[in-house]
Amino acid sequence: MSKVLPVLGRILARGWPIIVLLLAWDLVAVVNGYTDLLLPRPLSVASYVSNNVAKFAEPTFITVALAVPGTILGLAVGCVLAILVWYSSILDGLITPTTSVLQAVPVVAMLPVIGRLVGYNEITVIVIVMLLSFFPAFVLVLARLRQANGSSEDVFRVFGASRWTTLARLLLPQAVPGLLAAIRMTAPFAIGAVILAQYLLSIGGLGQLITDSIVRSDTVTVWAIACITSIVSIIVFALTKRLEDRVAVRFK
Amino acid sequence: MSSRGKKILLGILGALALILAAELIGRLGLAGKAWPAPSDAIFSVLGNKLNSALLFRSLGATLVSAGTGLLIGSVAGVAVGFLGFLFPVLRPGLDQTASILNTIPLVALAPLLITLVGPQGMSVLTAALGAGFAMFVATASGLLAVSPAHSDFFTVSGASRLQHIIRLSLPSAVPSLLGGLTLAGSGAVLGAVLGEWFGAPSGLGVLMISSMQNFQVKLLFVVALTAALVSLLAFYTMVAIQKLVGRRFA
């Protein structure tokens, strides 16, 4: 008992708003006497998901799998650009101002344009996720490449290391925490962007399941997807946070 | 040439190269019919009375939603941040929930939000959510950014908790709040456009979807450009305010 209480206290301290939200959700449904068609109760959503695992498993997998290539591409492009900008001051002058202006452009809102351009298919989704994840990687990696590290860099210079050797042996390892932070910042949003694209363009996955269920007035499924998406995003956030915490220490 | 002048020149050159590339891709048809030459698209949309009226009406609707959302979201974000400051017991839960809420995709929240405010209210609400998160984080961290020496001085001089908050914590939070506003401004514009995808009667987001589905590529291009410009404008307005006001509090 003496061990259970502190754990319970910690969960309560961090999780109280979630408990409040769930209770409020249930209360709204019960007090107004809403049927499942209008607003299903949390428990009926949970039991529906556990009875129909197969219905949700495949779309969830498709959605998550689609987020991966775009994120990796975006991070790669961001890193390459960061290295180029670090290497050449002319490229720095040409690229950096434009990217910082473009950063304020709402990428996800450009979905219709990219859909029209690339086609209503998975490639559009990958391009959107790429655009979304490229900027944080560019900024954070560049910042770490440029971070002053007085003595280490002097050692490299004294021993006559070339710029590329310094980059490969000193600066790139130093940039790893920046990349990890970029992954943590973009990965959870990648999932959301994929679902939004699938919803808007009707191209499979959880997004299309939302569209189909709304058409069929299948409210329970819509709410189930909402819960699944939230949980998946939170898991991705927690995993990437953990990765950052664990790995970044080695490169500090 | 000074290094600052060179920097500005290179920046302008980079931007010009980008615009030129967009124009060339359109003129030569490199990306197919879906990529019109920007100059052509702008002239033909603005030259057409019906289209330009539609564009400006939608722009107005989006600006109203984004502005209302920014106001509501900022007030709510600051209020919740302040709540966590006044009652430290609530803080871990609030932090956790804010970062979770920010992670949950909009699509997932959509059914909940639509039941709450209906499709018409969606864009204001999503704009408020976008702005609110930024302001909450800015408030929460800003109120704690008090220099220890000042805090000690207040305590030694016998300041009450209320004086402590009004004379020290609040002014110290101003730079952080201004920083939050720069993110909140463009966040509200993005939120408004996305919210309009869920059944709003009018707005840039609605026009975007309808022109995408009807293959009006020029209109689609110009609407997207307008949305991007509004977002940029919101960002740089906030940056200007930050510079103006922030100087006094730095």
B195-225 pLDDT per residue, tens: 998 888 889 989 988 888 888 888 888 888 8
Task: Write the ipTM.
Answer: 0.72
In this predicted structure, what is the pLDDT of residue A74?
93
Confidence of residue B75 (pLDDT cuts 50, 70, 90): very high
Name the residue among B17, B96, B104 with its Cβ closest to that of A230.
Answer: B104
Looking at residue B74, its pLDDT comes to: 95
Name the 3-class secondary structure at B171: helix
3-class state of residue A216 by DSSP: coil
Q: Please indicate whether, in this complex, the C-beta atoms of A101 and B15 are within 8 angstroms of each other.
A: yes
* pLDDT tens by residue, chain A, 252 residues: 566 777 788 777 777 777 888 888 888 888 888 887 778 888 888 999 899 888 899 999 999 999 999 999 999 999 999 999 888 888 888 787 777 777 767 777 788 888 888 888 888 889 988 988 888 888 888 888 887 677 777 788 788 778 888 777 777 888 888 888 888 888 888 888 898 888 888 888 888 898 888 888 888 888 888 888 888 888 888 898 888 888 877 776
Instruction: Give the residue on A whose Cα is nearest the Cα of B97.
Output: A17
pLDDT in tens, A153-184: 778 878 877 888 877 777 788 888 888 888 88
Whether residues A207 and B96 touch (CB distance < 8 A) is answered with no
**Residue that is written with structure tokens 């949950």 in the block:** B104
Distance (Å, rounded) from C-alpha A98 to C-alpha A134?
14
pLDDT band at B46 (very low <50, low <70, confident <90, very high): confident
How far is the C-alpha of B62 from the C-alpha of B203, rounded, in Å?
A: 5
What's the pLDDT score for residue A71?
A: 93
Lowest-pLDDT choice from A51-60, B39-48, B95-104: B95-104
d(CA B139, CA B84): 10
Closest CA to B80 of B146, B145, B129, B148: B129
- Residue B34's SS3 state is coil
Q: Report the topology of domain B36-249.
A: MetI-like fold (1.10.3720)
User: Which pLDDT belongs to residue A77?
Assistant: 93
Q: What is the DSSP letter of B165?
A: I
Tell me what pLDDT residue A35 has.
81
Q: What would the two tokens of residue A120 be?
A: 């209503």
Q: Which of B26-40, B73-87, B208-222 has the highest mean pLDDT?
A: B73-87
* Residue-level pLDDT at A2: 61
Question: What's the pLDDT score for residue B57?
Answer: 93
**Facing residue for B107 by CB, picked from A104, A196, A223:** A196
Residue contact A113–B215, C-beta within 8 A: no
Which chain B residues touch A38 with a CB distance below 8 Å? 115
User: Domain limits of chain B?
Assistant: 1-35, 36-249
Distance CA B40, CA B44 (A): 6
Give me the pLDDT at residue B124, please.
93
> Minimal Cα–Cα distance from A225 to chain B, Å?
7
To 10 degrees, what angle do helices A172-201 and A111-118 make?
80
Q: What CA–CA distances, in Å, run from B171 to A183, B167, B175?
A: 35, 7, 8
Q: How confident is the model at residue B250 (pLDDT cuts 50, 70, 90)?
A: low
What is the distance in angstroms between the Cα of A236 and the nearest Cα belonging to chain B?
9
Contact list in B for residue A234 (CB cut-off 8 A) is 100, 103-104
Rounded to whole angstroms, the Cα distance separating A137 from A114 reads 21
The model's pTM: 0.80
Q: Which of B21, B17, B7 is nearest to A90 (CA)?
A: B7
Residue in B with minimal Cα distance to A219: B111
Confidence at residue B67, expressed as pLDDT on a 0 to 100 scale: 95
Q: Which two tokens stand for residue B55?
A: 């564009």
Interface contacts A/B by beta carbons within 8 Å: 149
| Calpha distance B207→B6 (Å, rounded) | 41
Question: Nearest C-alpha of chain A: how many angstroms from B130?
Answer: 12
- Check pLDDT > 60 for residue B1: no
Q: How many CB atoms lie within 10 A of CB A50?
A: 8
